[in-house]
Amino acid sequence: MQRLYRKRIVLGVGGGIAAYKSAELVRRLRDHGAEVRVVMTKGGAEFITPLTMQALSGHPVHMDLLDPAAEAAMGHIELAKWADMVLIAPATADLIARLAQGIANDLLTTVVLATDAIVAVAPAMNQAMWRDPSVQANLQTLEARDLRLFGPASGSQACGDVGYGRMLEPNELAQLAADCFQRLNLTGKHVLITAGPTQENIDPVRYITNHSSGKMGFALAEAAVEAGARVTLITGPVNLPTPDRVSRIDVVSARDMLAACEATMPCDLFIASAAVADYRPEVIAPQKLKKDPTNGDGLLLQMVRNPDILATIAQRQDRPFSVGFAAETEHLLDYAARKLKDKNLDLIIANDVANPSIGFNSEENACSVIDRALQTTLFAQTSKAKISRQLVTFIADRLNQV
């Protein structure tokens, strides 16, 4: 069930005997890659201890709406925004009634009202209660509001009755939760992206770098997460916030970036959008270089080649699907096609950085993508966020054909 991979599930535990199944449900959700935060009602805590749920989920259990410590860390609004799904299991008749009426008198019902995430309820109650017209009317109200109904099942109940009202088993609930999420085109893939410039030191004060802002690489990382991937972003020095759910590694030099890339392997897809310095000073001065009054001609630096990160990764035995960038000021497609072949790439994205509207530090981009057959696909100028989504979709389609 890769559709649960890296999904954020708030598990609400109501006050019913079926709460003992909630512990196993946490395990099943985590087994399939979901991150789980538990919210318990006071009734739920009477049937299974918060300590148990904390141990299984790996996070503190949330219970009190007005808990100052919870508000300081992750209050009801933050928890509601964090979730991809709120799954209430067990959902008692009382809890279902409060949800239907829009009552927010505890943390769990408040989270449900405050979230834009998928909300699902797994009813658990006596068979006579399940058949009561008021319960059925409340469920119809919830379904009309697009809340999902998981179950219940029919069978023997704790009170000795037989009939509908049993909460579904944890494996069934985990499967139904997964079915709520679309399988995205990078679901379950590990994507490694490089971004930004590198800095090559001359002395403790000065360095050589370039104009890359890192905006394109960060936008690609965000788009890859949206497509379902686990994303590692290795970035040179930039002033950008880390996209949500992205694992970020900060580096400085080209050699640092290569070491970080190799330490992150293996991956399924490598997108090298960083503007890596081709050369670095052969010797880094231990102290700040001072002006030489006897030499009026300037300063001579002996430069050496930096390692080629893209070619190194693309030529590994466990090579990922490799995508490069060609930022050029002239002969764009010719230079890009040559780089594609020389570095053994699957795709290359060609950018005309001589155009200030789509060059370094700009908010928009336009590009051409060249494949191994030298077929070129054009992507018209638009925001970097939008073109990144288009590129990730295009790349994922090619990756999934391999």
Residues involved in catalysis? 159
Q: Which tokens hold the place of 371?
A: 């494949």
Q: Is the dihedral of CA 266, 267, 269, 270 positive or negative?
A: negative
180/352 Cα distance (integer angstroms):
41
- Residue pair 211/199 in contact (Cβ under 8 Å)? The answer is no
Residue by residue, DSSP assigns 248-267 as EEE--SHHHHHHHHHHH---
Checking 243-250 for CB contacts under 8 A at 24+ apart, the result is 243/218, 245/6, 246/221, 246/222
Residue 68 CB contacts under 8 Å (≥ 6 apart), including other chains: none
**Which residue spans within 276-363 are E strands per DSSP?**
279-281, 303-305, 321-328, 347-352
Partner residues linked to 8 by β-bridges: 35
User: What three-state secondary structure class fits 78?
Assistant: helix
CB count, 10 Å around CB of 252? 16
- Residue pair 163/130 in contact (Cβ under 8 Å)? The answer is yes
49/36 Cα distance (integer angstroms):
16
Residue 84 CB contacts under 8 Å (≥ 6 apart), including other chains: 7, 8, 9, 117, 118, 181
Could you tell me how many helices (H) and strands (E) the chain has, helices first?
15, 19
Distance of CA 280 to the CA centre of its chain: 34
6-26 exposure pattern, b = at least 16 Cβ within 10 A, e = fewer: bbbbbbbbbbbbbbebbbebb
